[in-house]
Structure 1
Amino acid sequence: MPTPGAPATLGVPKSADVPTAGHHAAAQAATVENLLRCWVREAGPDAPDDGDLHIPLPASGTALAVPVRYRSPTGHHRFGLPRLAGAPASAPPVDAVTLAALLARESSGDPGPDGIDLVARVADSVRRTAVFLRDREASADGGSPAEAGTDLFLAAEQALLLGHPLHPTPKSREGLTEAEARRYSPELRGSFPLHWVAVAPSLLATDSAWTERGRRVTAPDLTARLAADGPAPPDGYALLPLHPWQFRALRHRPATAALLDAGLLRDLGARGAPWHPTSSLRTVHRSGAPAMLKLSLALHITNSRRENLRKELHRGVEVHRLLRGGLSRQWQAVHPDFDIVRDPAWLAVDGPDGGPVRGLDVVVRHNPFRPSDDVSCVAGLVAPRPHARVDGSGGPEDTDAGAPRS
């Protein structure tokens, strides 16, 4: 498999990797529904209880007729595929890319660069969703995760195949090659070793409220434990784990390049046991490890680059201290099964001027889940389950409520 950042190679993919017409149809239908939900929420046309929702498109001199299959009081409406008003019955319904272009034009009368970017991300999201559906179908073994000996928490995190129901491009991954997408996507059950950097003590910024038997454990001690099967740092340096894609991007930023050239950061490479991306992509999990890692990732995931802010690092430790100070005991006395996943430690890099170096950081998240714990990611639990027919006729009518197949 190519290394992160290696040029994508062109070739004929294996047939199991090629989405069928049915997978494309299911991906199109899901994306169209997302776009319509967003438009109804943002632009204000109220979805009727039944019949068609009519969406005027004055900038394009036409309108859409959208079948309403279910009107939700919370905005999670179910729609059929829209058609252009007045189009002959033989005309195909409007696909996701066309719908995105039409709606973007309505926002300003001219799609402009933002509209063009939206259309491109919609196309990317549709294409990747179809790949995810095909891969999940091809890899199904007919058994449950428990029967297969799978980490049930990880299986739940990897089950969100369609993404956020109120986002127009929930599965866009701009910046990833096909090989990288296969390694870094939870929907494809990817895994990868972390990229490790050694940080000189003069640059190290860190805090920890992680305790064991009443004793505080520092963030560098925690990352050193997690790297037990990976690299050893030079004397006095701390180990900072990074997402491999993030390191590839960071090493070209002037601030990071200068620190590497000065030897204040040392590149130790991608090494160690594989970690698995969870539903957020940037938080990674390794079965049996005491901690998960919330990594910075400058990819455009949905519509923003997910790099940790220093205030977020501080906030996680502060919340943990607050909960440990007695608040969690108070609520658990009333609700013993309720708790909050904690972010009790972090490690980051400050530049020579004392300011944070963006993107060089990690949150150490407590992992309370054993592999046998039967837990669910709520977003995946309530997500529609897409069904792609062999004849390519997958659509909203072929989508049942329930957790996606895992």
Structure 2
Amino acid sequence: MHSPSPIETRLAAELAEARPDLVDRYAAELPGARAAVLTRLWRALAHEPLPWVARRVRGAHSPALRLADGRALHGPRADPYATDAYVTAVRLDGEVYDDPARLTADLGWPHSAGFAAELGHSVASLALSRAGQEPPAEAPEEWPDRDWQWEQRVVDGHPFHPNCRSRPGFSAAEQLAYGPEHRPVVRLETVPVAAGDCLLTGDWPDELRDGGRLLVPVHPWQHTHVLKGGSAGPWRDAHPLMSLRTLALADDTHVKTALSARLTSSVRDISAYSVGAAVTLSSFATDLADRTDGLLHITRTLGAVTAGSPDLAALLRESPQAYAAPGERVLPVASLATTTLPESPSWLAGFTRLALTVGLRLLDLGVALEAHGQNLLVVLSGTGTPLRLIYRDLADIRLSPARLRRHGITPPDLTGRLVTDDETTLRRKLFGSLVAGALAGTAGSGPVLATALEAAVRHLPATPDLTALLEGPLPTKALTLMRLSPEVPGDQWTALPNPLAALR
């Protein structure tokens, strides 16, 4: 049914030069990678408010999408919370498609050609990510000790985004050299910039100063492809984390670098707004976390700098490891799916209760966290019991001055996109990232998520936010719509069926 796409073929040729031992494994992983990306795409087609879909019809054997141009698209029933690759093919006017990139291109919607290319990259890179894993018989069974080792276990990327592994601009050799799932050590570089030309907040260590110049840490991919070489020197070795552009140093400091490539939805640079707000926001959020009775810690931003461009900027942040006692483990919530813990209904209910307790408490106070599986981490006891949470990367949270003042809290001196009193915006931010994101990705299906939520919410304080979570549809970002309508600024949203509705 499928002939290799040009992107798949090109990556195979690059792999033959860089790692010929992986070529056969890469080819063997391609069908599964196509199904994984197609499953994510079908979720979007079935549930997002795409203007090119006229109506959705529940058929006797499979749902159908009636397109605005008169064509019909058929596929399996779509569980919006499922994380397994259950869609191996769909039919567009009777023609069978197993390749999400070819399907998207043939849909012919505005911007679909560019999105199709991104999906092709997602398939090829996902196959490479899977091919680079140790065979099961050789993989170590014990749990990692370091937080960055847990991040290496997340192979498939975002559980619901069709661009889960899209890395345009990265060759096969560069993906092997920089992708956390390939377990590399990356040598960071520094670019010297006159201090007077920089915006600096917080502390900047002596080792990143050279007289009147500041040394800005730079990812080697950024130095080669965006900064085009120029003055730079080697700095320190680091382990890449899930976001690719954030890396852990040997002393556990995390370095967030600018990486001006489009990964999933966004170009990963660092704005002057983020640098200017970083330390103020960090200080405020860490103080606010004290109101959670020890259930939440927020990693502090130590320093942030930009050299007049979002392409040349960096943040230094403390490691979540700082909040783990001896015998405890810290791991991103996205890594939980690589363990057997979520298979226990009681464990999943307890974790869900912890996450909702913290998230709803902060929301009531006036802070909506972007608590997806990458930003939210959990501290586990030696036996796997979830003890408390850690949150990192405050760049996309939302603050409500009105809610903060209602609790006698003085809002931080910040303006701009971080600040809003709009109830819908605040709830979307938390519910879409935490419930439709982190918890759904951990549960792996709608029925399992519903059971965990039902067991957890009965113990939570009754608040208007909890009522909104229980009674309304569940908001989540319309990730495919956003890629197909780049002219629309900001986030776009869709409403998923509330998983609790099936239990009522």
TM-score by structure 2 length? 0.57
> CA offsets per residue over residues 103-157 of structure 1, 9 Å max, x none?
4x2x34xxxxx221111111111011011111114487332354xxx44311221
Secondary structure, counterpart of 1:174 in structure 2 = coil
Q: Residues of 2 paired with 1:78 and 1:13: CA distance?
A: 27
Name the structure 2 match of 1:378.
333
Secondary structure, counterpart of 1:15 in structure 2 = helix
> CA offsets per residue over residues 330-349 of structure 1, 9 Å max, x none?
22xx3x13122222321222
AA aligned to 2:133 is: R
Q: Residues of 1 paired with 2:235 and 2:150: CA distance?
A: 26
2:211 to 235, 260, 280: 235
Q: Residues of 2 paired with 1:203 and 1:173: CA distance?
A: 31
Name the structure 2 match of 1:353.
none
Shift of 1:247: 1.8
AA aligned to 2:197 is: L
1:270 to 214, 234, 238: 234
Name the structure 2 match of 1:169.
163
2:264 is the counterpart of 1:302? yes
Secondary structure, counterpart of 2:205 in structure 1 = helix
2:204 is the counterpart of 1:219? yes
Query: Does structure 2 retain, via aligned residues, the 8 Å contact 1:67–1:81?
Result: no
Q: Residues of 2 paired with 1:80 and 1:401: CA distance?
A: 20
Secondary structure, counterpart of 1:166 in structure 2 = coil
Structure 1 residues 368 and 402: alpha-carbon distance in aligned structure 2, compared to 1, 3 A threshold: same
Shift of 1:84: 2.2
Name the structure 1 match of 2:289.
328
Query: Does structure 2 retain, via aligned residues, the 8 Å contact 1:191–1:276?
Result: yes
Q: Residues of 2 paired with 1:77 and 1:18: CA distance?
A: 24
Shift of 1:202: 2.4
Name the structure 2 match of 1:342.
300
Shift of 1:283: 0.7
Secondary structure, counterpart of 1:173 in structure 2 = coil
Shift of 1:191: 2.1
Structure 1 residues 375 and 50: alpha-carbon distance in aligned structure 2, compared to 1, 3 A threshold: farther
Name the structure 2 match of 1:56.
66
Provide structure 1 residue ranges, at least 5 long, that are not aligned to the other structure: 1-7, 109-113, 209-217, 228-232, 261-266, 350-355, 386-399
Query: Does structure 1 retain, via aligned residues, the 8 Å contact 2:56–2:65?
Result: no
Query: Does structure 2 retain, via aligned residues, the 8 Å contact 1:18–1:131?
Result: no
Shift of 1:234: 4.1
Provide structure 2 residue ranges, at least 5 long, that are not aligned to the other structure: 1-13, 341-440, 445-504
Q: Residues of 1 paired with 2:262 and 2:186: CA distance?
A: 20
> CA offsets per residue over residues 151-186 of structure 1, 9 Å max, x none?
431122122222223322121111112211111111
2:223 to 230, 243, 247: 247
Structure 1 residues 21 and 62: alpha-carbon distance in aligned structure 2, compared to 1, 3 A threshold: farther
Structure 1 residues 47 and 306: alpha-carbon distance in aligned structure 2, compared to 1, 3 A threshold: farther
Structure 1 residues 310 and 10: alpha-carbon distance in aligned structure 2, compared to 1, 3 A threshold: same
Query: Does structure 1 retain, via aligned residues, the 8 Å contact 2:301–2:315?
Result: yes
TM-score by structure 1 length? 0.69
Higher helix share: 2
The higher-RCO structure (CA 8 Å, 6+ apart) is 1
> CA offsets per residue over residues 356-400 of structure 1, 9 Å max, x none?
233221111111316974223223424899xxxxxxxxxxxxxx9
Q: Residues of 2 paired with 1:202 and 1:85: CA distance?
A: 58
Secondary structure, counterpart of 2:313 in structure 1 = strand
Q: Residues of 2 paired with 1:141 and 1:152: CA distance?
A: 20
Structure 1 residues 199 and 382: alpha-carbon distance in aligned structure 2, compared to 1, 3 A threshold: same
> CA offsets per residue over residues 33-88 of structure 1, 9 Å max, x none?
111112223236668598412123464x64332122x634x68797433332674x
Q: Residues of 2 paired with 1:344 and 1:50: CA distance?
A: 58
Name the structure 2 match of 1:286.
249
Query: Does structure 2 retain, via aligned residues, the 8 Å contact 1:295–1:363?
Result: yes
AA aligned to 1:42 is: E
Q: Residues of 1 paired with 2:167 and 2:136: CA distance?
A: 22
Query: Does structure 1 retain, via aligned residues, the 8 Å contact 2:40–2:161?
Result: yes
Q: Residues of 2 paired with 1:383 and 1:53: CA distance?
A: 31
Name the structure 2 match of 1:132.
129
AA aligned to 1:96 is: P
Q: Residues of 2 paired with 1:48 and 1:383: CA distance?
A: 34
> CA offsets per residue over residues 262-293 of structure 1, 9 Å max, x none?
xxxxx342243x21111111111124x24201
1:193 to 176, 187, 203: 187
Q: Residues of 1 paired with 2:224 and 2:74: CA distance?
A: 46
Shift of 1:28: 0.9
Secondary structure, counterpart of 1:169 in structure 2 = coil
Structure 1 residues 340 and 27: alpha-carbon distance in aligned structure 2, compared to 1, 3 A threshold: same
2:25 is the counterpart of 1:19? yes
Shift of 1:19: 2.8
Shift of 1:18: 3.4
2:104 is the counterpart of 1:100? yes
1:67 to 71, 76, 80: 76
How many residues align structurally? 324
Name the structure 1 match of 2:280.
318
Query: Does structure 2 retain, via aligned residues, the 8 Å contact 1:40–1:47?
Result: no
**What is the aligned-residue identity percentage?**
23
AA aligned to 1:191 is: V
